[in-house]
C-alpha cells in the first residue's frame, strides 16, 4: 500500500492550500483527541443526517473514526498562532476486495441506521467498475471548528487531500456530500456526480428523514479520476 511521505505532504502544503493563518498536516496519533473534539462538538451537532437520525458523539462513532485515522492519510489544518486544529478531512482507503459494508452488529442504533443509509446504494454506484480501479481513497467526514468557519478551510482541505491522493499514486477518489456546503466543495473541485439520494425518499422511525435536515435535501455521491 502506498504511504504518505514528506514529499507528498510538501506538495499538498503548496499554495493555495496553506494560508496565512493555518498550516496543513497529516493527522498523527497525538492529534486524534483533537479530531474527536471537532467531530463531537463542531460536526455532529450541525451535520444534516446526524440531526435527522439523532446521532450524537458516541464510542462507536469514535471507534470508526479511529479505524479511518489509522490509514494515516487524513489531513488537518493547524492554526499557526495557537497550534489548535482548525479543521479535519477524514480519509481512508477502500478496496474492491473489501467485504460488503455490514453495520448490523453496531449497538448504537441511530448511527447504525445512518451508515446503512449512506451505503445503501453501493451496488448501484458500482464505484470500482465505474472507475476501473481496485483501490481508491474514500473521503469521509469534513469537520471545521466553529471558530474557524467562513475562511474557506473546507475547500483548502479537500484540494490538499486531492493533491495528496495524486502524489500517493491513487487513481480515483470516492466521497459523499450530505449537505449543500460539502456538495459545493466537491463540485468546485470538479468531482463527478455519480448518484443522488433525495432525503424525501427515505424514512426513519416512520418519518421522512428530510424532516430533520433543514435546507439540505439530498446526499450526493461523487467520484474523481486522478
Confidence of residue 169 (pLDDT cuts 50, 70, 90): confident
% the chain with pLDDT above 90: 80
Q: Residues 92, 95, 100, 106: what is their CA dihedral angle, to the nearest 10 degrees?
A: -20
Q: Does residue 155 belong to any structural domain of this protein? A: yes
Q: Among residues 173, 168, 170, 219, which one has the least CA distance to residue 192? A: 173
We report the CATH number of the domain holding residue 194 as 3.40.630.30
Residue 1 lies in a domain: no
For residue 8, the model assigns a pLDDT of: 54
Mean pLDDT, residues 48-76 taken together: 95
Domain presence at residue 28: yes
In the chain, how many domains are there?
1
- Domain range for 87 is 6-225
| Segment 164-180 mean pLDDT | 92
For the segment 105-161, what is each residue's pLDDT rounded down to a tens digit? 999 999 999 999 999 999 999 999 999 999 999 999 999 999 999 888 999 999 989
How many angstroms separate the CA atoms of 38 and 130, rounded? 34
| pLDDT, tens digit, 9 for 90 and up, residues 9-43 | 555 555 456 777 898 888 999 999 999 999 999 99
How many Cα atoms are found within 13 Å in the side-chain-facing hemisphere of 74? 26
pTM of this structure: 0.91
Amino acid at each position: 500500500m502506498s504511504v504518505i511521505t514528506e514529499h507528498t505532504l510538501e506538495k499538498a502544503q503548496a499554495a493555495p492550500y496553506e494560508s496565512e493563518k493555518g498550516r496543513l498536516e497529516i493527522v498523527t496519533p497525538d492529534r486524534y483527541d483533537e479530531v474527536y473534539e471537532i467531530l463531537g462538538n463542531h460536526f455532529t451537532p450541525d451535520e444534516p443526517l446526524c440531526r435527522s437520525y439523532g446521532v450524537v458523539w458516541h464510542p462507536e462513532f469514535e471507534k470508526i473514526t479511529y479505524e479511518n485515522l489509522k490509514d494515516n492519510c487524513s489531513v488537518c489544518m493547524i492554526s499557526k498562532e495557537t497550534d489548535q486544529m482548525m479543521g479535519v478531512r477524514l480519509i481512508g482507503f477502500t478496496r474492491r476486495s473489501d467485504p460488503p459494508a455490514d453495520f448490523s452488529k453496531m449497538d448504537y442504533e441511530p448511527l447504525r441506521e445512518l451508515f446503512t443509509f449512506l451505503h445503501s446504494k453501493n451496488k448501484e454506484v458500482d464505484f470500482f467498475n465505474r472507475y476501473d480501479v481496485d483501490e481508491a481513497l474514500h473521503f469521509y467526514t469534513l469537520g471545521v471548528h466553529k471558530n474557524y468557519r467562513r475562511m474557506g478551510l473546507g475547500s483548502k482541505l479537500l484540494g490538499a487531500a486531492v493533491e495528496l491522493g495524486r502524489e500517493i499514486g491513487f487513481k480515483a477518489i470516492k466521497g459523499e456530500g450530505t449537505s449543500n456546503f460539502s456538495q459545493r466543495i466537491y463540485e468546485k473541485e470538479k468531482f463527478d456526480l455519480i448518484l443522488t439520494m433525495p432525503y424525501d425518499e427515505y424514512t426513519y422511525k416512520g418519518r421522512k428523514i428530510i424532516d430533520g435536515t433543514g435546507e439540505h435535501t439530498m446526499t450526493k455521491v461523487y467520484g474523481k479520476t486522478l
